[in-house]
Structure 1
Amino acid sequence: SSGYKIEMLNNGISPLKGEEPGLEDLIKKVRSDGKFESTSDFSKIRDLDAVTLAIQTPFKDKGELEPDFGALEEGIRQIGKYLNEGILVVLESTITPGTTKNFAADILKEESGLIPGEDFALAHAPERVMVGRLIRNIREHDRIVGGINKESTDRAVELYTPVLTRGKIIAMDSTAAEVTKTAENTFRDLQIAAINELALYCEAMRINVYDVRTGIDSLKGDGITRAILYPGAGVGGHCLTKDTYHLERGVKISGSTLDYPADSPSLYVLARKINDLMPQHMYNLTNEGLTSIGKKFNGSKIALLGWAFINNSDDTRNTPSEPYLDMLEKDGARVTIHDPYVSQDGSLKISQDLEESIKGADAIVIFTGHKQYLNVKASAIKKLSGHKHPVIIDGRNVIDPEAFIKEGFVYKGIGRGDKNYHEICNK
């Protein structure tokens, strides 16, 4: 289904619709210089000195810690069929700790008849990029590299060193590299969960979480690291939504005893559940807003702004907007979806006409912090809605609450306990 991307790449065109500074120019340059070719022909592996593999690794069942390695296994098998002695194989996918040494090594040996670590090198070098910063992240971030033995690590270091302009190579064992990647994403998820729960506390205490955040972040000095992030409508993407479970599974399949109470929930899994709760909280805020103007979800029009999981991108993987949409539709709401970067997601049609999406809406709900939403005018939005007291829900802190409250809106925002209980202005 993504074969069209091969043709686009070979024509020097980026298949990504979101904003990726430098990517389009780089693709054009390496194509014109004859240094880049895109293909689906795995047999060309026979001509290579190194092959890297980056394939999604979702979970079938997070509760049972059962991953879906179907696509990863197929990719590894295809590589194994065409391996030559001396080649370097690198897994860049985020994977359960132990996967490179065991799962991948076993499949490659089975398909090729070659011995991993002896006849060919095998390593893990997890990608560490964020949407919207691909080129910069690849060049400037430190690169974690771990082989199944010293020879494999050395080969991988040799491969990645020329790519970096500012970052450095950090070499380690392949399992340590796998833990590093899953743990850094798990820790980021934990940080987000901490501020999301704090935002809920601030709403309950009728104070502004952003004031509190500023205060916490002001404490600086030697040995002081707060690294406090921002609350939001939910966490999406391919990585943070499942890497906690890869880390948990790594411990489970290691066969070793974990000195932690068996009946106590993992801190990391609790954090994951808090972040998964945020679309439900957005639903609750929307319900409160509609109730305050005497309306219910059934029959109300909701303008959902933002389908991509991250701002200024077309990446919709595991978007938190989806569970929110499901809740609205279950309750009989009429929903229009707008996203300036996404026109379709599967069978779901998404509008790129903001005015048309908002027209007649009882509630406008901002789920993604796209730059196009930063300067929306309260008066213009109210006129388009056609209602005296439309509801606006801000899940990313992109609008000025006071400007909308003064225009007669019912405002609700994540962490904005100082504004969520305002009197309705009869303008």
Structure 2
Amino acid sequence: MKKITVMGLGYIGLPTAITLAGAGYEVCGFDVTERVVESLKGGKIHIVEPGLQEAFDQAVAGGHLHFSSELSPSDVFYIAVPTPFFEDASGAHKADLRFVESAGRMAGKVLRPDDLVILESTVPPRTTEMLARVLGEESGIPQGEIHVAHCPERVIPGNMMYELKNNDRIVGARTPEAAQMAKEIYEHVLDKGVVRVTDDITAEMCKLTENTFRDVNIAYANELSVICDKMGIDVFELIKLANCHPRVNILTPGVGVGGHCIAVDPWFIYEQFPEEAKVIHASRLRNENKPRFVAEKVLSSLRDPKKDLVAVLGLSYKPDVDDLRESPSIELCNILRDKGVNFIACEPFAPYGEVHGIQNVPFEEALSRADYVVVTLGHSLFQENRDKIAAKPFFDCVGMME
């Protein structure tokens, strides 16, 4: 494998490209967004991730990593594009696979018989089969002879550079040749992780299962928080005590569930199996409704809902990252706006000014102006200033003020 092209340079594609280049592969990072490509050519990454800029600088200095907005032939194509969902006319959640199909058609135009295509994007079952069909249509290579593998990413923002090299990887392949080719690449990259080979449909379902498990667990924690509120119980103390049991591990409740994985992937299962996925569906609804519960708690706590200014601390979907995708904190702000509540936000990992239609201000300004504070995330900045936050009336969604 002399050359690898990574298609899509977002939160997964860019760290993947850097890691592959660091392992010695010749890597081209491809993206259709000129702004992203130009920023990377200029030496500046466009996402926040600990250690990523340093690893980027080393890979570029080593001569193994470059970027382009034009797709060229390659030995391996990694597809790491978004797979969001949309609501159809009936309100059902459906996977939006346009980006995967588009990337497949672009790769198909330059694909050669012995090339390998790896789909890293999280997708519903049988998407890899669709990708093979698209590649065949564009390349003219018989679909059964195209080497396609689904190798879902298994990393968490904030620790990507470690987990890309140390987590076990799943290789779900459509041909024995694709399985072996993909396995060799990941074994060359990994330090501690093990490569586990299966078929493509099982690999697709594995990633969905992992994230759905977490969604169900968080839904249970969020449901407990609602019940405990009615009982006058501290849910965070309750969970801490329950987790003393050796076989109990309840996650922490919050304002909801966000990010491009846990808040999205369960819908990919429910879309295809609505009659069977009852627990999955109920968990999704519980987590999606949590911001409304928080909004009602805030509204009932204000002295004057028409005049008090609320400061929402945190807009990203998890602590100490800049990822705003599917953020429940943003949904909370939208609900507060609909209820006529005056509010500002502090998200230190986003530009100050307007973010998704929300006024984002520095931490000190947010506290000085606020009559009431809602802690939606445990950013390090907020944890270091608990005493200042505690000087204001507040509602703590995540147990940070415990």
Taking structure 2 as the reference length, the TM-score comes to: 0.86
Tell me how far apart the structure 2 counterparts of residues 95 and 377 of structure 1 sit (CA, whole Å): 40
Q: Which runs of 5+ in 1 are unaligned?
A: 253-261, 383-389, 401-427
- Distance apart, 1:351 and its partner CA: 3.1
Partner SS for 2:170: strand
Q: Give the conservation status (yes or no) of the 8 Å contact 1:358–1:381.
A: no
What's the RMSD between the two structures over aligned residues? Answer: 2.0
1:149-160 matches, cutoff 5 A: 149-160=175-186
Q: Give the conservation status (yes or no) of the 8 Å contact 1:59–1:66.
A: yes
What is aligned with 1:77?
A: 105
- Distance apart, 1:34 and its partner CA: 0.6
2:96 to 40, 63, 68: 68
2:75 to 49, 61, 64: 49
Q: In structure 2, do the counterparts of structure 1 residues 243 and 304 end up closer, same or farther at CA, with 3 Å as the change threshold?
A: same
- Distance apart, 1:334 and its partner CA: 1.8
Partner SS for 2:66: coil
- Distance apart, 1:249 and its partner CA: 3.0
Partner SS for 2:77: strand
Matched residue type, 1:391: P
What is aligned with 2:397?
A: 395
CA deviations on 1:84-112 (whole Å, 9 max, x unpaired) are: 120000100000111102x1111111111
2:135 to 102, 108, 111: 108
Q: Does 1:95 align with 2:126?
A: no
Matched residue type, 2:37: I
What is aligned with 1:275?
A: 287
Q: How many residues were matched structurally?
A: 368
Q: In structure 2, do the counterparts of structure 1 residues 393 and 346 end up closer, same or farther at CA, with 3 Å as the change threshold?
A: closer
Matched residue type, 1:39: S
**Greater mean alpha carbon deviation, residues 64-73 or residues 129-138:** 64-73
Matched residue type, 2:280: Y
- Distance apart, 1:11 and its partner CA: 3.4
More contact order relative to length (CA 8 Å, sep ≥ 6): 1
Q: Which runs of 5+ in 2 are unaligned?
A: 1-31
Partner SS for 1:321: helix
Tell me how far apart the structure 2 counterparts of residues 9 and 210 of structure 1 sit (CA, whole Å): 43
Q: Give the conservation status (yes or no) of the 8 Å contact 1:98–1:250.
A: no
Q: Give the conservation status (yes or no) of the 8 Å contact 1:191–1:228.
A: yes
CA deviations on 1:66-87 (whole Å, 9 max, x unpaired) are: 2211222111111111111200
What is aligned with 1:30?
A: 59
**Greater mean alpha carbon deviation, residues 210-219 or residues 59-68:** 59-68
1:256-335 matches, cutoff 5 A: 262=275, 266-290=278-302, 293=303, 295-296=304-305, 298-335=306-343
Q: Give the conservation status (yes or no) of the 8 Å contact 2:344–2:358.
A: no
Greater C-alpha Rg: 1
Partner SS for 1:71: helix
Identity of aligned residues (%): 30
Tell me how far apart the structure 1 counterparts of residues 359 and 164 of structure 2 sit (CA, whole Å): 31
1:353-392 matches, cutoff 5 A: 353-378=362-387, 382=391, 391-392=393-394
CA deviations on 1:240-288 (whole Å, 9 max, x unpaired) are: 1111111223447xxxxxxxxx4x8710010011111111111011012
Tell me how far apart the structure 2 counterparts of residues 216 and 176 of structure 1 sit (CA, whole Å): 34
Partner SS for 2:198: strand
Tell me how far apart the structure 2 counterparts of residues 322 and 22 of structure 1 sit (CA, whole Å): 27
What is aligned with 1:237?
A: 259
**Greater mean alpha carbon deviation, residues 84-93 or residues 354-363:** 354-363
1:132-211 matches, cutoff 5 A: 132-211=158-237
